[in-house]
Amino acid sequence: MNEILRKQFLRHVAQTSPAPQLIEVARAEGVFFYTPEGKPYYDLVSGVSVNNVGHGNPAVVEAVQRQAADYMHIMVYGEMVERPQVEFARRLAKALPEPLDTVYFLNSGAEAVEGALKLAKRYTGRTEMISMRRAYHGSTHGAMSMMGAPEGEEWKNAFRPLLPDTKAIRFNCEEDLMQITPRTACVLCEPVQGEAGVIPPKEGFLQALRKRCTEVGALLIFDEIQMGMGRSGEMFAMQKYGVTPDIVCLAKALGGGMPLGAFVASQEIMSTLTHNPVLGHITTFGGHPVCCAAGLAAMRFLQENRVVEDVERKGVMFEQALTDHPQVQAIRRSGLLLAVELGSSDKLYRLMDIFIEEGILSDWFLYCDTAFRISPPLVITDDEIRDCVELIRKCLDRL
Ligand code: PLP
């Protein structure tokens, strides 16, 4: 670690917590990143479910280099015909179920959520917006307003007033669906809750949610920012559960490692953003050609190499290899996103230090600090899984 760089980081780069991890990164490849001294770390976070196609993926690097040389930013979003943007939108539309065929590109997950909420209000002419308890949708004012109570209250209270006319119902609770009424503009829901500590939907819940939204004319918005682009074992988690929302939010892995977000709806719904008022939702950098080129290359890589088809099997490999360790109380999983439950935050914090010593980067979850995250690049090989699991077990033995 370069001491001067470390000091300058602490002095000049804005901090988000009193205890940053402070590992200096020199380069990254596949499922590893390396310090300047050459120490490798298994990346079990993937920049929080971003690097699905692996670090330094040659197809993505080549696409970025080519596009950067051709042209970068030209004009605000939605005015010029830029090939990487058009081709990526078309590929996404083809992969998503009908009628989700019109893509609004932005820069991040929170921005995708903001756009989707505005679209739902504008389309329905209603104001009430419902989210799920223990949901995380981003850190901007609108997205934070949809942070699910009660766990989100600590964050929300520090920044009130937030958006009015919002409320949170219980995920996986069909009884609460009656709180969705003809006043409701939209319901925002992660098909698999990520930061709650990986909570998959109970059988029938998403179907019942879809039915209730349709009955009362509320738009259903899925936040697939963490699960989309293959993490769940399908390209989109909605396909796993056979439920199509009216709007879907994407980000994280969407840009293949570059910053990119999007919300996708039918052309009929999306077109309401073009009038009354015109320019009702605009962005300078959204859909940046280099980010779209990277995202397009990443999605093509996933599809051409049938990466997603192998995700469930790899997830099972991790689960089966860890489930019998005496420190492991439970494992919750969707595809290659696992929450390994230790039942104690003290143990978890100790384990994080041991992981760092042994060359593993993991993390806990925003609303669950008793479980650690396994969210590797989806391209992790079977040999790497076996080796990584052995290392994890060695760390767990030290607890
Ligand atoms: N939605 C979900 C489900 C997320 O996990 C996240 C980030 O962790 C976001 C939204 C926010 O995305 P971003 O950090 O790009 O704004």
| 151 has a pLDDT exceeding 90 | no
Pair 264, 358 in one domain: no
CA atoms within 13 A on the CB side of 159: 16
251: Cβ below 6 Å to ligand 1? yes
Name residues whose C-beta falls within 8 Å of residue 137's C-beta, 6 or more positions apart in sequence.
109, 110, 113, 131, 143, 144, 146, 147, 188, 190, 223, 225, 249
Domain identity same for 299 and 322: no
Taking residues 344-353, report their average pLDDT: 97
Q: Is the CB of 254 under 6 A from ligand 1?
A: no
Task: Determine the pLDDT at residue 96.
Answer: 98
Q: How far apart are CA 138 and CA 147, in angstroms?
A: 8
- Range with lowest mean pLDDT among 60-64, 229-233, 279-283: 279-283
Q: Which of 283, 304, 325 is the last residue of a domain?
A: 304
Looking at residue 183, what is its pLDDT? 98
Q: In total, how many domains does the chain have?
A: 2
Q: Is the pLDDT of residue 249 over 80?
A: yes
Cβ neighbours of 239 (radius 10 Å): 17
Q: Atom of ligand 1 at shortest distance to CA of 190? A: 3
Question: Is pLDDT at 149 greater than 90 in this prediction?
Answer: no
The helix or strand, by DSSP H or E, that contains position 383, with its residue range, turns out to be: helix 382-397
* CATH, residue 244: 3.40.640.10
286 and 362 co-located in one domain: no
Position 344 pLDDT exceeds 80: yes
Confidence (pTM)? 0.97
Query: Does the CB atom of residue 295 touch ligand 1 within 6 A?
Result: no
Is residue 40 located within the same domain as residue 165? no
396's enclosing H/E stretch is helix 382-397
Q: Which residue segment(s) compose the domain that 87 sits in? A: 58-304
**Does 296 share its domain with 322?**
no
pLDDT surpasses 90 at 368: yes
Q: Tell me how far apart the alpha carbons of residues 69 and 113 are, in angstroms, rounded to a whole number.
A: 31
Strand order in the sheet with 32-34: 27-29, 32-34, 40-43, 360-361
Segment 92-117, tens digit of pLDDT? 999 999 999 999 999 999 999 999 99
Q: Is 194 in the pocket of ligand 1 (CB under 6 A)?
A: yes
- Judge residue 140's burial from the number of C-beta atoms within 10 Å of its C-beta, 0-12 exposed, 13-18 middle, 19 or more buried: middle
Query: Distance from first CA to last CA of the chain, Å, rounded?
Result: 27
Percentage of the chain beyond pLDDT 90 is 96
Clarify whether residues 313 and 338 are in a common domain: yes
Integer Rg of the chain from CA: 21
Same domain, 178 and 242: yes
Atom of ligand 1 at shortest distance to CA of 195? 5
137 Cβ below 6 A of ligand 1:
yes
13 and 67 housed in the same domain: no
- Nearest residue to 353 (alpha-carbon basis) of 341, 364, 368, 366: 364
Which of 304, 330, 360 corresponds to the end of one domain? 304
Per-residue pLDDT of 176-212, as tens digits, reads 999 999 999 999 999 999 999 999 999 999 999 999 9
Residue type at 317 in one-letter notation: M
- Residue among 155, 252, 260, 366 whose CB has most ligand 1 atoms within 8 A, to mutate: 252
pLDDT, one tens digit per residue, over 48-90 is: 999 999 999 999 999 999 999 999 999 999 999 999 999 999 9
3-state secondary structure of 34: strand
CA of 249 to the centre of ligand 1 (A): 10
Same domain (yes/no): 234, 292: yes
* Ligand 1 atom 11 nearest Cα: 138
Are 212 and 341 within one domain? no
Q: What's the burial of 267, exposed, middle or buried (CB within 10 Å: 0-12/13-18/19+)?
A: exposed
- Tens of pLDDT along 285-310? 999 999 999 999 999 999 999 999 99
The CB of 109 under 6 Å from ligand 1? The reply is: yes
Q: Does position 320 have pLDDT exceeding 80, yes or no?
A: yes
Q: Following DSSP, what letter does each residue of 241-282 receive, concatenated?
A: HT---SEEEE-GGGGBTB--EEEEE-HHHHGGGGSSSTTSS-
Among 278, 304, 330, which residue terminates a domain?
304
Q: What is the mean pLDDT of the chain?
A: 97
Predicted local confidence at residue 153, as pLDDT: 79
The reply to whether 177 and 273 lie within a common domain is yes
pLDDT band at 347 (very low <50, low <70, confident <90, very high): very high
* CATH, residue 34: 3.90.1150.10
Establish whether residue 223 lines the binding site of ligand 1, counting it when its CB lies within 6 angstroms of any ligand atom. yes
- In the reported structure, the alpha carbon of residue 109 is separated from the centroid of ligand 1 by a whole-number distance in angstroms of 5
Q: What is the mean pLDDT of residues 152-162?
A: 87
Q: What is the whole-number distance in angstroms between the Cα of residue 139 and the centre of ligand 1?
A: 8
Clarify whether residues 349 and 257 are in a common domain: no
